[in-house]
Amino acid sequence: MGRGCAHSLATTRVVVFLYSVQSRLPAIPFPPTLPALIKQAVERFGNDDYVVMPDRRISFSEADRASRKLAKRLLEAGVGKGTRIAIILPTGIDWVVAWLAAGRIGAFPMLFPATYRPSELRRALRISDAAVLFAAPTLLDKDYEALLEEAIPTLADHDAVRGSLADPAVPFLRSVWMVGRSEREWATTVDSGPDAAEPDLPTELFEAIESEVSAADALLVIYTSGSSADPKAVVHTHGATIRKVQAELGMCLPGSLPGRTFCAMPFFWVGGPQDLLGALHSGAAIVSQERFDVAQCLELLERERCTSILGWATVYEQLQADATYPTRDLSSLQLPAGQALTSSKGDPVNLGMTETFGPHANLAWFDYKVIDPDTGEVLPNGAEGEFCVRGFGLMAGLYKREREEVFDADGFYHTGDRGYIESDRIWFTGRYTEMVKSGGANVAPLEVEQALLTVPGCRMAFVMGVPDPERGEVVAAIVVPSPGATLDPDELSSEVNTQLSSYKVPRRWLVVDESEIPWLASGKPDKRAMRARFS
């Protein structure tokens, strides 16, 4: 579970427990910025594979050249330090080049999930203040040009040659850059390959711009579900992400060790950038797919002689369930062996979240306190409560949220995770929040409830997570029809799927009369009692 530290732990309830290791910034031998990391990666690994897809691959040197050319083109178009750049591209080489290009000139990369429906994309573009949007003609087998025109009301009538976009629905968006061929008049087409033409921007000027990128600048903003209907935008800096990946390379990111890792996670969520930065540190090759497919994954594992896999537990289960699995030559895989750990109450979990840029169950690098979520009282060692965490790997904040809304007075972030600390280890026992964690993705019940209430005939909607053996949890909904109306779960699923990403759509349904809804004395719905109905 990480490197332990010697501590004197209180054994009585008279002394409160605050687990602190005086978190410090790990030292690295170069400035902790993406430009510096790319430079040292090129010097060390050069023509070695950096990213490998089923039909394309790019080396460290090629990624450097391609992202430098695209970065110069951005600069020539007026993009500067702090410019918000939204990226909604297929997981793959074009995604990596766009992110590296934005990050190495100090722009503000906003990583949008490729699963967004038009209404979700429009809302994220408004919240992000993005001035430039990187997209592709097709994404996850969808006509993405048509989707963009649905998401941005005035886009279809816009001509990029005549001027900048100006749409009140997305007030800061000025241009849409399409990676690949496009015939749309609103599109600024982009060649992101290493053989693209070199812009005229002087090398001396470009290097001066890169040198002004600081460790405190934002390297990525990851969009995930929060407690409200709007997405939560988690801001991480160059310094925090680069230091954290370097410091915990062995413990947290086995796929970043020298070798070849299959990354089963999409690049727009935290696992992708973790692995990509880890490869720049270590020289590992990142093997991936636009969308996870078991048969193709097994072929890539064999073809590329992958040494490790980064993915959720369900990935391993799906691979092992494939009929061809026993015949595959996967002898190159070096999966980490599990440790036999025991506790008086449960099993340890390598806790992680977007806000901590992945795993945080490391007492050497994070400070913890466990509190009573109702009173805020700090609890003694071994007592169960809510985990609060702080440290160098913690997010800089939430976009458009004041610091006091995000951290407490001592700089701790309250995670919503329930558990305790015992024997210098983190022990996880559940969640305090209503957030649904399905297949590694967060789903906000309020967002789904609001979508359901837009369906004609749906008078009330209550959404929650229920246990599932494959995904951990799945989204479930209890709905109440309006008087005289009839609600069909299949029709509800189809309608919600037009508004929200597929992983947010309820998979289990109950249609009930209003008299069957349980209520607490406070006047709030009793979701615990509702959840029990599904079991």
Answer yes or no: are the C-beta atoms of 86 and 132 closer than 8 Å. Answer: yes
User: For residue 348, what pLDDT is reported?
Assistant: 47
- Decide if pLDDT at 506 tops 60: yes
Answer yes or no: are the C-beta atoms of 296 and 273 closer than 8 Å. Answer: no
Asked whether residue 206 falls in the same domain as residue 77, the answer is yes
Backbone dihedral angles phi then psi of residue 386, each to the nearest 5 degrees: -90, 130
- Decide if pLDDT at 254 tops 60: no
Asked whether residue 484 falls in the same domain as residue 458, the answer is yes
Asked whether residue 424 falls in the same domain as residue 446, the answer is no
- Decide if pLDDT at 5 tops 50: no
CA torsion sign, 273 to 274 to 279 to 285?
Answer: negative
Distance of CA 103 to the CA centre of its chain: 17
Domain annotation covers residue 185: yes
Tokens encoding 473: 């949890």
Name the residue among 332, 338, 282 with its Cα closest to residue 303.
332
Instruction: Name the domain boundary from 237, 253, 277.
Output: 237
Q: What is the CATH number for 90?
A: 3.40.50.980
> pLDDT tens-digit profile of 113-130?
999 999 999 999 999 999
Task: Look at 156 and 251; give whichever has higher pLDDT.
Answer: 156
Task: Look at 77 and 1; give whichever has higher pLDDT.
Answer: 77
- Decide if pLDDT at 21 tops 80: no
Q: What is the CATH number for 403?
A: 2.30.38.10
Domain annotation covers residue 305: no
Asked whether residue 365 falls in the same domain as residue 490, the answer is no
pTM: 0.83
Q: Tell me, what DSSP letter sits at residue 124?
A: H
Which range of 204-218, 227-241, 260-274, 313-327 scores highest in mean pLDDT? It is: 204-218
Task: Look at 415 and 18; give whichever has higher pLDDT.
Answer: 415
If one counts the domains in the chain, the total is 3
- Decide if pLDDT at 225 tops 90: no
Mean pLDDT, rounded, of the chain: 87
- Decide if pLDDT at 440 tops 90: no
| Confidence bin at 341 (pLDDT 50/70/90) | very low
Domain annotation covers residue 260: no
Instruction: Name the domain boundary from 237, 265, 287.
Output: 237
What is each CA distance from 523 to 73, 105, 125, 426, 481, in whole angstroms? Answer: 57, 52, 36, 36, 20
Instruction: Name the domain boundary from 401, 430, 459.
Output: 430
| Confidence bin at 403 (pLDDT 50/70/90) | very high
Q: Which domain holds residue 78?
A: 60-237
User: For residue 234, what pLDDT is reported?
Assistant: 96
